[in-house]
Amino acid sequence: MKKTKIFADANLAIGEIDPNLYGSFIEHIGRAVYEGIYEPGHPAADKEGFRGDVIELIRELGVPIVRYPGGNFLSGYDWMDGIGPKEKRPTRLDLAWFSTETNEFGTDEFMKWCKKAEVTPMMAVNMGTGTIRDAARLVEYCNHEGGTDLSEMRKANGAKEPYHVRYWCIGNEMDGPWQIGHLTADEYGKKALEAAKVMRWANGEFKGDDGSDWATDPLKLIVSGSSNHEMKTFPEWDRVVLEHTYRHVDYLSMHRYYMYDAGRERPLEDFLGSADDMNEYIGTLKATIEYVRAKVRSKKRLHISFDEWNIWSVTAPRTEPLWKKAPHLLEDVYTFQDALVFAGLMNTLLNNCDVVKLACLAQLVNVIAPIMTKKQGGVFKQTTFYPFRYISHAARGETLRTFSDSDVFENMYGTARYINEAVSHDKNTRSVSVSLCNYAQEAREVELELRSFGDLHAAQYLEMTNSDLLATNGFDHPDEVKPHENELPCVKDGKVTLKLPAMSWSLVTFKY
Ligand code: AHR
């Protein structure tokens, strides 16, 4: 059996893992909001209409931050439509998803939901049809104490205290011709800069004459980067946008969905190469950020917000008519094989935790999501639920640099490793977690060398494997694909040997 050696050392860390790496996303699209997180009258819903069964699963996933309200929806959305008495809110056409938006759920409902779900809100301002004034006013509505029309409106709408929203995306995928109000990099860069300025000012971010900063809670602003690396404008878009905005923002956003070609016109290897490709993509943007940092002579380090990532193979084409409220959209059912690639993508995020300080699994409920709901019915966990749930709990603290001699396979992106790993170290809990994907069609042996930790013992060994790569979960077979506990391996002289089944994902946690 082929053996791969992986070495990690307690003193060689890539960086701190920001808990926001395990964020997610709820857009006004399909059944993400309506029938997803919000379904008044559902047996598990509270008096606000928030489904408790869904919140329970979100807690189980360990999601700390949720991006809202879009997505492509954002670029046609007037946030004022979604506040005030529900019966007075307008019903509108959503031109992004050809649906009808009733606006029953808006900013205040989202804030209440976040409180209940114990997640941090990550808001977004419309840079498509929206103006910089709309953006500043939304910040004022959310964050200003009181005494102005908008802050008093918030109070009248039930929120006496400001929401103190810190994370704000300035637009969504503005490089995409599919975006309502799509702009060139130069146009967007200029607009994003002006939006950033007025948003900060509306948040009371003012520098005194003595240089003192008056803001107690400065905004964390996220500028819209490339929608994917296949865009003709990549990475020039990112360079131009950053040259306009570098000094005024905190994160560059990036998005990417990986796809399995079910028609088999592309080999499976192309799908299995996703994690290593994502690594290259992040690497290019890291370099772009560094280039602009040098060019604008800034000492500030900008981070990446990978605020849309997932697998999206378009396995659930639209069947419902246009302009329906909450149509079944993008309800992909994930396979076991999807979960393997998904785990590799999580490994990549961890291995880039020095620069990726925020990431959002897109999306969270019903729409390309780990959680699926039935109207007036139950919930089930998709195959991808499991790697997210276990990695988000286990991979804390810092990611360690690994040295591996894995062999590689060719794919459309270049080469990728058969054994894909991420090793994390949590000093607080004295634990080391190793997430391992075996993308080979045969079992592989892996020798882990973790000598620097001294006396180490395995505390948990999860394994996900299935004879059917295309196996799924569903309402009538909810537990078809899930990890099982393995017999704990022995650690000898800081070394441990694991046997990884063909096409599998494993997570081993050690304590010292
Ligand atoms: O998550 C689905 C869509 O994918 C989002 O609305 C958009 O930002 C991206 O293209």
Please give the chain's pLDDT, 512 residues, in tens.
999 999 999 999 999 999 999 999 999 999 999 999 999 999 999 999 999 999 999 999 999 999 999 999 999 999 999 999 999 999 999 999 999 999 999 999 999 999 999 999 999 999 999 999 999 999 999 999 999 999 999 999 999 999 999 999 999 999 999 999 999 999 999 999 999 999 999 999 977 666 666 667 899 999 999 999 999 999 999 999 999 999 999 999 999 999 998 777 889 999 999 999 999 999 999 999 999 999 999 999 999 999 999 999 888 888 999 999 999 999 999 999 999 999 999 999 999 999 999 999 999 999 999 999 999 999 999 999 999 999 999 999 999 999 999 999 999 999 999 999 999 999 999 999 999 999 999 999 999 999 999 999 999 999 999 999 999 999 999 999 999 999 999 999 999 999 999 999 999 999 99
Query: Does the C-beta of 172 come closer than 6 Å to ligand 1?
Result: yes
Domains and CATH numbers, the chain: 3-7+402-511 (2.60.40.1180), 18-394 (3.20.20.80)
Cβ–Cβ < 8 Å for 21, 360: no
φ/ψ (deg, to 5) at 7? -120, 135
**Measured between alpha carbons, how far is 314 from 327 in angstroms, rounded to an integer?**
15
DSSP string of 217-268? S--EEEE---S-TTSTTTTHHHHHHHHHHGGG-SEEEEEEEE---TTSSS-H
Q: Hey, which residues does 477 pair with through a beta bridge? A: 474
Query: Does the C-beta of 173 come closer than 6 Å to ligand 1?
Result: yes
Query: Does the C-beta of 71 come closer than 6 Å to ligand 1?
Result: yes
Query: Does the C-beta of 483 come closer than 6 Å to ligand 1?
Result: no
Whether the pTM exceeds 0.85: the reply is yes
Going from the Cα of 71 to the center of ligand 1, the distance in angstroms, rounded, reads 5
CB atoms within 10 A of CB 393: 15
* 64 three-class SS: coil
Q: What is the dihedral of CA 270, 23, 305, 74, to 10 degrees?
A: 100
Q: Which atom of ligand 1 is nearest to the CA of 178?
A: 10
**Measured between alpha carbons, how far is 296 from 189 in angstroms, rounded to an integer?**
15
Going from the Cα of 150 to the center of ligand 1, the distance in angstroms, rounded, reads 30
**Measured between alpha carbons, how far is 388 from 403 in angstroms, rounded to an integer?**
24
**Measured between alpha carbons, how far is 318 from 329 in angstroms, rounded to an integer?**
6
Q: Hey, which residues does 431 pair with through a beta bridge? A: 426, 511
Going from the Cα of 213 to the center of ligand 1, the distance in angstroms, rounded, reads 36
Residue type, 451: R
Q: Which residues are known catalytic residues?
A: 173, 308
